Amino acid sequence: MNRVIVVTASGVTGRTVARTVGLVRGNTIRARHIGKDILALLRHMVGGEIAEYTKLMAESREQAIDRMVEEAEDLGANAIINCRFTTSVVMGGAAELLAYGTAVILEPET
């Protein structure tokens, strides 16, 4: 399995974009869990990090990145540049996290 480089920059130091493959994206939609909502409400009342939501968002980001990388690999890319994230509310209690970027083929600089 090839390792796909994922960066938020428009390039990778020491590499040249030989070819742009195209837009790639990965997303996930997650709903809140009533048990976690109760814990989050209690934490909100006393202050501090809401660890249940932090974990949920971290898992969502990783899943979206994995899906984006898989799409890039299917297209034959070895890197994704200009990676970005966005979120949107789908319905009450559920949100989408989308990762997107430009799939490219990098070659070493000469």
Average pLDDT for residues 81-105, to the nearest whole number? 93
Q: What is the pLDDT of residue 53?
A: 79
Return d(Cα 80, Cα 100) in angstroms, integer.
9
Residues across the chain: 110
CA–CA gap between residue 3 and residue 80 (Å, rounded)? 11
- The pLDDT value given to residue 6: 98
pLDDT of residue 35: 59
* pLDDT beyond 60 at 1: no
CA dihedral 98, 67, 90, 22 (to 10 degrees): 50
Average pLDDT on 80-96 reads 91
For the chain, which domains are there? 5-31+59-108 (3.30.110.70)
The 10s digit of each residue's pLDDT in 24-81 is 999 999 886 665 566 656 666 666 777 777 888 899 999 999 999 999 999 999 999 9
